[in-house]
Amino acid sequence: MAARVIDGKAFAATVRGKVAEHVAQLKAQGITPGLAVVLVGADPASEVYVRSKGKQTVEAGMHSVEKRLPATASEDEVLSIIEALNGDPDVHGILVQLPLPGHLDESRILATVDPAKDVDGFHISNAGLLATGQKAMVPCTPLGSLMLLRDLHGDLTGMEAVVIGRSNIVGKPMAQLLLRDNCTVTIAHSRTRDLPAVVRRADIVVAAVGRAGMVSGDWLKPGSTVIDVGITRIPTESGKDRIVGDCDYASCAEVAGAITPVPGGVGPMTIACLLANTLTACCRANGLPEPEGLTA
């Protein structure tokens, strides 16, 4: 039987609606959550994401700040912008759009964001809090993926999860979140021996390696749930890029029980969760209860 298609676009719209409702309540108390996005350079995909972030921030009723620097900006210039945003009381969330130009030290830049305003959850102190099971800001793509899984399965306790990819942004935090939800978690990667056999054990597969179409249907346990985090742009003859995930959709959809499409799966959840994290950061900064169902 063909897999159920997990509609991340629709789910993201629901999340954004909930965020907007909370924001309206905060504004009635004189509090407006604010999100600042820092973009260094003019990577075309980053331009698109940053524009969407600003637009969706405003649509949710929040205050949006955009700081743009040329690709030639020095590290000190980037750091001084972040420091100013750290001290701005109207800004509750700060993110630095990745990738950064190669001459900049990404770790140093991310470590300069105030952890309480780190709505991407990339600061080492948030990574450490998450790894030790404490209250953290959680990276948006793993948080969105977890929301989709909880919506589909309810309780994830006891499920076998295989996360393919060990990045700090997706693979590692995703594994931590699944562990926290009582899954038995394996992190697989490019050096894993017999990757298809490892993936075949999984009730939940999260593919986050950045290799187009790598996971094929014959790697899957029948009925498993596939979360495809990959986004690879493939140029087409029409001149417009087509985007594909890390899973070979046609073959995986024949074997899986449920699968996220690319586009329209995990991608839209990333920005919806960014808004949710900004709301959470604003509530924490004001000593207010956190919104239910919008955090991990």
Ligand X SMILES: Nc1nc2c(c(=O)[nH]1)N[C@@H](CN(C=O)c1ccc(C(=O)N[C@@H](CCC(=O)O)C(=O)O)cc1)CN2
Note the residues at the interface with ligand X (CB under 6 A): 48-49, 95-98, 120, 140-141, 231, 243, 262-264, 267-268, 270-271
Contacts of 231 (CB under 8 A, 6+ apart): 243, 245, 262, 263, 267
Per the structure block, which two tokens stand in for 205?
């597969």
Q: Is 167 annotated as a binding residue?
A: yes
Distance of CA 87 to the CA centre of its chain: 25
Please count the helices (runs of H) and the strands (runs of E) in the chain. Answer: 10, 11
Q: State the minimum distance, in angstroms, from the CB of residue 140 to ligand X.
A: 5
Q: Is 190 annotated as a binding residue?
A: no
Output 97 or 176, the one with its CB closest to ligand X.
97
Active site residue 53: yes
- What does the alpha-carbon distance between residue 71 and residue 8 come to, in Å, rounded to a whole number? 33
Active site residue 97: yes
Q: Is 231 annotated as a binding residue?
A: yes
- What does the alpha-carbon distance between residue 129 and residue 221 come to, in Å, rounded to a whole number? 33
Of 97, 118, 181, 221, which is the active-site residue? 97
Task: State the DSSP code for 117.
Answer: G
Output 116 or 243, the one with its CB closest to ligand X.
243
Task: State the DSSP code for 64.
Answer: E
Output 143 or 159, the one with its CB closest to ligand X.
143
- What does the alpha-carbon distance between residue 133 and residue 29 come to, in Å, rounded to a whole number? 32
Q: Which single residue is written with the structure tokens 């780190």?
A: 118
- What does the alpha-carbon distance between residue 263 and residue 134 come to, in Å, rounded to a whole number? 32
The DSSP bridge partners found for residue 69 are: 40
Q: State the minimum distance, in angstroms, from the CB of residue 122 to ligand X.
A: 7
Q: Is 165 annotated as a binding residue?
A: yes
Of 18, 114, 117, 120, which is the active-site residue? 120
Output 165 or 267, the one with its CB closest to ligand X.
267
- Among residues 30, 68, 26, the alpha carbon closest in space to that of 51 is found at 68
Per the structure block, which two tokens stand in for 18?
């909930």
Kind plus residue range of the DSSP H or E element containing 13: helix 8-28
Per the structure block, which two tokens stand in for 5?
């298609």
Residue number with the smallest Cβ distance to ligand X: 267
Active site residue 181: no
Q: State the minimum distance, in angstroms, from the CB of residue 27 to ligand X.
A: 26
Q: State the minimum distance, in angstroms, from the CB of residue 107 to ligand X.
A: 14
Q: State the minimum distance, in angstroms, from the CB of residue 82 to ligand X.
A: 12
Catalytic residue numbers?
Answer: 53, 97, 120
Annotated binding site for NADP(+): 165-167, 231
